[in-house]
Structure 1
């Protein structure tokens, strides 16, 4: 659906009153610290093309973005996980003959504010395109609100490719207010079980056998249930698909050790609302590319609020205690912390 062309908007239409944010925080029982108050001031400022909020996981960046988005006095706004936006934009680019402006017209219409959650760039090909995207969005006078675990200078961290992204980093730092948000507390790790929704309704299942999985309430796939899915035309083997339950079951190696992409995970997530991933290895045994894909899987499932069960031969405590061996970002470990623990029965 194409939205009507943008109507003129004044800068004040794209800001919120700091007092309104503070009131929301008070109602939520969330005292704002100095860094969060600085972020509130930045979101309330009309003197920039956007705000780049960065800091460790669970420090309130997404909450601040959500609050800004809810209070923003305009309907011409959109909030989206960066991976989801990227996947949708690539699909539209193909439809529009790779004309970026036409694809953005189709996707955004008269949107005046774009909120990107979990902004990250680690792929060289994506890096080149992100620079074009930033230029195009700023040329449309779109106000960008971004959350990231890294400062702009930490994007594209691979030293072999970092230099190719320095122009984009300079653009972010010159066009946007960059604010670090770090309360020192990861609120996700102290979230109570009664607050669990979406991704966090899933379980970390320590299952050394099929019987252990059955005890945890999972029916292990029969060999005849295996099927090859083709999201975006890419073959991905699933151990089972159970449409009546909305369940898809993957082995880690099939999902993450083969050439798959976030767009593939997103396409499967459009169909199945309950994911089971078995055979998840110890962090120290994960190679670089499977780790990167696992991070993207968790990002997509977390963003879509889909139940996710991980079946491993090690306990969650063991896996998470080995986080130093895990080359993925801290946000992934934080999200895995939110899963229920389910252990096999005691063996005499």
Structure 2
């Protein structure tokens, strides 16, 4: 770690300097496993800087940027390891530090693939309508993605959907041919991607492609920081004689900085099925909302699923007691808990009552469904649930998905 600090002080790496600063401030604990990843990312940071200088050294460099011989190739990085080891935090630091200002993109991998499928569908529709010439839709989409960003950073890279598996090879082959640099985090090694999936033999060339174009590094850290941050933390705070809501708000502020980082995160916007979900605070793979922001607005299952896939921990503040007149909010809360539970989201909430007495409605389906919500809320407090990996429901964990796409 001393070597990293020395190179940062010498101006060698913005990423390393920021990491060392956060460690000095006590926001990050010294961790040799993380230090190894910082070193790998710092080296990639330097290779990207060298590429940018090479492209700018010639007045014609940008004009002929697509010619393979004029683009210095840079291998990306595939970081894998157990949950809670700091992979997301490190890639966030890299993304903020790397000397690429415009043509870069940071995305949850699942959301990126939703975007890719939507683009392919639009290209096919435009071809049928005669708006564009016939061609390979995947190649056209890859070219468009390259024009927008030549540095792609993915979080939670995993493949469970056959629709994704069948196009990834062709898509990434084009992206790599354009010189796109990819940095990805994953809970599994490349060899274990789409393990047990339908027609997996057809997917194996893609794994070889990853290993050719990306350095594969495992983060070897004995500490599950996600568990450490949530260990001993109450997950359901109830206002009452023992603790006022103002005191709970103070506790929630402390928990939030513990989870999201000392800076408290920043606002974010998440695209979801043609709409934008505003996230008031996001940081460290976590998000923070009020109940009204999540359930007092017309959001649906797809929106809650989008959030569940994007954040491993979500704080919800000021959950009110609900009656029959607020059945719509109760319905949304039931749906929200269902989606969070299925994806292993860690929930920390402040409320006016315990789950059993939070909803008093007696009519409609939600009156019967509330019992399931109560059960899940109690389970979500357990240490076993807190230790559960984020992002994989039972069907995804088995690789038993059946989505199809034309290829």
TM-score surpassing 0.5? yes
- 1:312 corresponds in structure 2 to 373
Q: State the Cα distance separating 1:168 from its structure 2 match.
A: 1.2
1:80 corresponding residue in structure 2:
107
Tell me, yes or no, if structure 1 residue 120 matches structure 2 residue 158: yes
Any idea what SS the aligned residue of 1:141 has?
coil
Q: Return 5+ residue gaps in structure 2 as ranges.
A: 1-12, 48-73, 125-135, 234-251, 261-272, 275-292, 310-328, 356-369, 393-407
Query: Taking structure 2 as the reference length, what is the TM-score of the superposition?
Result: 0.50
Moved more, 144-153 or 178-187: 178-187
Aligned-partner Cα distance in 2 for 1:137–1:28:
39
How far did residue 49 of structure 1 move?
A: 1.6
Establish whether residue 166 from structure 1 lines up as the match of residue 198 from structure 2.
no
1:67-88 deviation per Cα after TM superposition (whole angstroms, max 9, x unaligned): 0011111212111111111111
Deviation per residue, 1:31-62 (Å, 9 max, x gap) = 34222111112112246521111112221000
Cα 1:249–1:133 shift into 2, 3 Å: closer
The alpha carbon displacement at 1:155 in A equals 0.8
| CA distances 1:97-149 after superposition (whole Å, capped 9, x unpaired) | 26223323434425221101111101223112111222122111111010111
Contact in 2 for aligned 1:122/1:158 (Cα 8 Å): no
For 1:245, the equivalent position in structure 2 comes to: 296
* Residue of structure 2 in register with 1:43 after alignment: 41
Of residues 144, 150, 156, the one that matches 2:188 is: 150
Shift of 1:330: 1.4
Aligned to 1:65: 91
Q: Deviations over 1:255-301 (max 9, x none)?
A: xxxxxxx799559x9xx9x95235978xxxxxxxxxxxx589748x9
Task: Give the Å deviation of 1:315.
Answer: 5.4
Aligned equivalent of 2:390, options 320, 331, 336: 331
Q: Report the equivalent of 1:135.
A: 173
Counterpart for residue 217 of structure 2: 179
Partners of 2:33 and 2:221 within 8 A in 1: yes
CA 1:279–1:158 in structure 2 vs 1: closer, same or farther (change >3 Å)?
same
The alpha-carbon deviation at position 317 of structure 1 amounts to 5.2
Q: Higher relative contact order by CA 8 Å / sep ≥ 6: 1 or 2?
A: 1
Query: Is 1:22 matched with 2:20?
Result: yes
Show CA shifts across 1:1-32 (max 9, x none): xxxxxxxxxxxxxx855344333443352134
Q: State the shift of 1:244 in Å.
A: 8.9
State the partner residue of 1:53: 79
Structure 1 segments (4+ residues) deviating >6 Å: none
Deviation at 1:169, TM superposition (A): 1.3
Match of 2:253 among 169, 186, 194: 194
CA distance in 2, matches of 1:244, 1:330: 25
Partner secondary structure for residue 130 of structure 1: helix
When residues 297 and 21 of structure 1 are mapped into structure 2, their CA distance, relative to the original with a 3 A threshold, is same
How many residue pairs are counted as aligned between the two chains? 247
